[in-house]
């Protein structure tokens, strides 16, 4: 599949070339301070390779959703406008001015300046910050950029054209460089100007992060060492319809846990009490159980579950629980995690596997009382000799949180992107790159 055979930064000569590099610097911030620099650190090998090999490096990224605050011409969004229009006429002018001032401040909070400072610290040399994206400042700084130097453009989402993948905007962005490098797997499933559009105007290759994602995940899906086990969790069957269908054609065993398991249990005739249930997916679950049987795929569902009278509120509140068999869930209680026997059953299956892909937690892992199922699976993966791949999002967060990350072969950097990858979809940010 050409999806997995893309040129990387090592396949081309970057010396003396200007490289536009799309990174994922959408980092968590509080009061103007970066609270986790994991994504910035993750991008460093690509940035260092390019700078060390004589490229002039122009970094770009988004942060947050500035369009929720205002649009690029500093008009207020619909919600703010409606609020002001509801005021008495004589108060509207002052309220508009105040709201615009606040919008400017809110947008300023989404500036990438703190990111530039952090990259400077990690590189040990100054990263030049542009005050705009395709404006005069960015273009002048890009034109003056020398080999080995690094600059960062301002938040690409300050332009509405970015998410619309506007060709004129993509062309302006591309005009500053001679090579395009995509290293933002977290946004590779989006067809935006900086993730896909610029590849229409420049030779396009991947950085080390994307190369690893498509190498490890691609090999697992196309040519896995067997037995190949996939574990799916999370809340809803409807979020994973295509993933289940795609994986049933590839795996030896499919394990289903989390909230989505209860609709499958209902499809097998179990009473599930007040557990999460998607009635409109019942027939789909029956079809998938039948498909697994026809294909000789072992489909494992929980055999027991941890129940409580209600969902914890707040999420980490103390909660009274009991462990019951899946055919004995009390009518007025809900399943919130896999039970003790299920943990052993799933762990035993992982122990025999050569390749495991995991996406989605086994229960409400944010609550320590309901995290035991997710922890047991992470532990089983850590203890196993298999190639273990954790597909972004909550399952990745759980592995980090419980201290298993360094024992997992590969933790994906993109939740939505890794899910679409497991569905077998072409990701625009990867499909646009040049084939080897």
Query: What pLDDT, on the 0 to 100 scale, is given for residue 427?
Result: 92
Contacts of 130 (CB under 8 A, 6+ apart): 137, 138, 141, 142, 151, 152, 153, 154
Tell me: pLDDT of 67 over 70.
Answer: no
Give me the catalytic one of 39, 118, 141, 250.
39
Counting residues of the chain whose pLDDT is more than 90, the rounded percentage is 76
Average pLDDT over residues 262-281: 96
Domains of the chain, each with CATH number or no CATH: 2-64+110-209 (3.40.50.1260), 216-424 (3.40.50.1260)
Cis bond upstream, residue 227 (ω within 30) = yes
Judge contact between 225 and 355, C-beta under 8 A: yes
- H helix count then E strand count, the chain: 16, 17
Q: Mind listing the pLDDT tens digit for each residue in 227-269?
A: 999 999 998 888 888 899 999 999 999 999 999 999 999 999 9
Q: Known catalytic residue: 393?
A: yes
Tell me: pLDDT of 363 over 90.
Answer: yes
* Cα Rg, the chain, nearest whole Å: 24
Cα dihedral sign, 193-197-201-204: positive
Judge contact between 373 and 304, C-beta under 8 A: no
Cis bond upstream, residue 314 (ω within 30) = yes
Query: What pLDDT, on the 0 to 100 scale, is given for residue 424?
Result: 84
Tokens in use for 15? 């010396």
Query: What pLDDT, on the 0 to 100 scale, is given for residue 72?
Result: 41
Tokens in use for 289? 């159980």
Nearest-CA neighbor of 152 among 129, 177, 175, 169? 129
Q: Known catalytic residue: 64?
A: no
Q: Mind listing the pLDDT tens digit for each residue in 300-311?
A: 999 999 999 999
Lowest mean per-residue pLDDT among 179-183, 371-375, 419-423: 419-423
Judge contact between 272 and 265, C-beta under 8 A: yes
What's the CA gap between 316 and 298, in Å, rounded? 34
Tell me: pLDDT of 1 over 70.
Answer: no
Tell me: pLDDT of 418 over 90.
Answer: no
Contacts of 198 (CB under 8 A, 6+ apart): 20, 22, 170, 173, 174, 180, 204
Q: In sequence order, which ranges of 175-237 are alpha helices (DSSP H)?
A: 208-222
Q: What does the mean pLDDT of the chain come to? A: 92
Tell me: pLDDT of 48 over 60.
Answer: yes
Q: Known catalytic residue: 39?
A: yes
Give me the catalytic one of 373, 393, 415, 429.
393
What's the CA gap between 342 and 300, in Å, rounded? 9
Counting residues of the chain whose pLDDT is more than 70, the rounded percentage is 97
């Amino acid at each position: 599949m050409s999806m997995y055979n893309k040129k990387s930064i090592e396949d081309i000569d970057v010396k003396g070339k200007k490289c536009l590099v799309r990174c994922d610097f959408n980092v968590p911030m509080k009061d103007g301070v970066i609270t986790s620099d994991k994504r910035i650190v993750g991008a460093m090998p690509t940035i260092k390779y390019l700078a060390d090999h004589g490229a002039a490096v122009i970094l770009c990224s988004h942060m947050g959703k500035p369009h929720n605050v205002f649009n690029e011409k500093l008009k207020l969004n619909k919600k703010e406008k409606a609020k002001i229009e509801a005021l008495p006429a004589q108060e509207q002018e002052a309220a508009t001015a105040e709201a615009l001032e606040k919008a400017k401040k809110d947008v300023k909070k989404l500036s990438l300046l703190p990111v530039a400072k952090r990259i400077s610290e990690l590189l040990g040399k100054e990263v030049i910050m542009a005050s705009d994206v395709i404006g005069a400042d960015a273009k002048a700084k890009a034109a003056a950029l020398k080999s080995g130097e690094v600059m960062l453009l301002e938040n690409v989402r300050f332009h509405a054209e970015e998410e619309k993948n506007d060709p004129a905007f993509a062309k302006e962005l591309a005009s500053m460089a001679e090579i395009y490098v995509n290293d933002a797997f977290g946004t590779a499933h989006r067809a935006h100007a900086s993730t896909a559009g610029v590849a229409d105007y420049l030779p396009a290759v991947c950085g080390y992060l994307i190369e690893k994602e498509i190498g490890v995940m691609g090999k697992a899906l196309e040519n896995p060492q067997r037995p190949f086990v996939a574990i799916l969790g999370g809340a809803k069957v409807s979020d994973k319809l295509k993933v289940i269908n795609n994986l049933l054609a590839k795996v030896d065993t499919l394990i289903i846990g989390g909230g989505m398991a209860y609709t499958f249990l209902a499809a097998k005739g179990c009473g599930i009490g007040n557990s999460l249930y998607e009635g409109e997916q019942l027939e789909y679950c029956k079809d998938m159980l039948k498909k697994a049987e026809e294909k000789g795929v072992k489909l494992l569902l929980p055999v027991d579950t941890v129940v409580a009278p209600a969902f914890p509120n707040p999420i980490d509140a103390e909660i009274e629980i009991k462990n019951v068999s899946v055919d004995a869930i009390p009518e007025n209680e809900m399943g919130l995690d896999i039970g003790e026997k299920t943990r052993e059953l799933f762990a035993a299956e992982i122990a025999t596997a050569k390749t495991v892909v995991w996406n989605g937690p086994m229960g409400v892992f944010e609550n320590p009382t309901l995290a035991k199922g997710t922890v047991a699976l992470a532990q089983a993966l850590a203890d196993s000799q298999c190639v273990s791949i954790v597909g972004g999002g909550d399952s990745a967060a759980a592995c980090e949180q419980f201290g298993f990350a360094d024992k997992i072969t590969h933790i994906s950097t993109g939740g939505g992107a890794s899910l679409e990858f497991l569905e077998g979809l072409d990701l625009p940010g990867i499909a646009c790159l040049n084939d080897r």
